[in-house]
Structure 1
Amino acid sequence: MLELLMVPAIIRTECGFVVGGRKALCVLLYRLAFPCRLKDMRLVLGLSESCICETFNWMLHFNGLQVGLRTFAEAVYNKGCPLTHCWAFIDGTVRGIARPIRNERFFYNGYKRKHAIKFQGVVTPDGLFVDLYGAEVGTRHDRYLLAQSALLEKLQTHMNSPSGHPYCLYGDPAYGQTDHIQCPFSASVNAPLTPAIRNFNKSMSQCRVTVEWGFKEMTSKWAFVDMKCQQKFLLSPVATQYKVATLLSNFHSCLNGGNQISQYFGVEPPTLEEYLKV
């Protein structure tokens, strides 16, 4: 993994700490895997608390950690979904944070009843996140995240078949209906719902839930980002921690031949070597 990620043999932090590349990667993985105290990590890694903190932040911002429509669409269709050109699923997630000392009301999500930040993710049938946007404050709507991410413009430019037919994402009603994003039929707009429409909504819902599996699987692997009291948005790079944990979750799926989502759709993820070449 060190070679694939191109982690240097020796890293030097802003405060002058010099750490071997292998140990720096261990610091990143250890810190994200479980919420533990720096003093406990010091005993395991043999580094000072200041060095561990600096190394963790250096690895979070390390540039080496960056990242077939038809196959995905066929996998979704074969699971009983009526859409023939749906290749992935989109959803937002609300991540709890510690209560901020400033601008508290901007972070408070009344629906979830907690201070939070929001991310938008896109998951493909091979179980990988192919797009993750955030963070925005917890009061923002999913449509706002969609607009700010410029994802729709990317879809319109790149996600079309050779014949010009659009490949689409499927999400909840908050995203609205476009050529490249589909959502369930709403009873308030399409009432009364016919049996065919109800069956469509039910079939697509059974597959759309996989994007929620993706968020859950990531936080189960990297429990640190799910520990609300540790997510101090104004003090730590909370958004970067979440993005790096998501990327590491993709790595884990590639190394282990898939996850719950890929098994559900019967699509194997690429190898780690193939993934990092993309």
Structure 2
Amino acid sequence: MRFAFKIFIFAVLLCVVVVLGVVLALVLTLPDLPTTVHNDEICLPTEHGSMSCGETTDMLHNYLEKAIAKEYAKVKREDTLRQQKYLNENRVRLMEIYDKYHWEMKPAAKLTGKDQPKPRISDSNAEMIPVRVWRHGRELHDTSGFERYGVRYRNGRLVIPVSGTYFIYSYVDLFEPCDPSSGKPKVDNVSIPVKHGIFKFNILDAGESEVVSSVQPHTISSNRYFNSYSSYVSTLAELKAGDEISVKVSNITYLKYTRDNYFGLNLV
């Protein structure tokens, strides 16, 4: 019994010695800090494993900025891959449907107008402002609108389910206030026309591009209180699965009476 106890004590002491040796080895292998480090400075590891010293606030700011940028790039990369996977999975499913029914069921949608939320601060200097809400889904009941065969609605945009040639179109009524004393439009620069267009965006592409647009000059109001502009745009466009189609206008506050406005597409 005493012998076993001595063995146990010896093993414990041996473990303590080993741990102390490891700690000592780690301390000895750590790089020496510069002898000129002051109280308001800090040393942090660089990308290459060496130590870099500097003012505490600057060092922490740069270190966190690099760490956040690295993490953001990772999240963005994962989101892109997840989006591509989703599109690929749905493309296969939809293609199976179309092959089965000889392309009789083609993606199509028509959204109808809806009152817009208050303009954002970022819209004040924008050349074109997106129409951010349309009637969609159940809101289209008892209207002329519809969503069929894979077309999805997201944040005021229509998402293309399968690549092909699409007929895209939009109609809006724009009402511009005028000065009652002269009938002139209440705008800062009359040389900038009233514009209405359809734009395309894809998360895998860089930026957004205009597909089709209509431009009308400002005019003197015949009734001295407002101008009414009716604008219809349409075109055929080659679109990829995952493309997002949206409508933009030069002044979102001109959308006063939205009941008759619409926006749609269909595969041809």
Greater fraction helix: 1
Instruction: Mark yes or no: TM-score above 0.5.
Output: no
TM-score range, shorter chain: under 0.3
Q: TM-score, normalised by structure 2?
A: 0.22
Greater fraction strand: 2
Larger radius of gyration: 2
Q: TM-score, normalised by structure 1?
A: 0.21
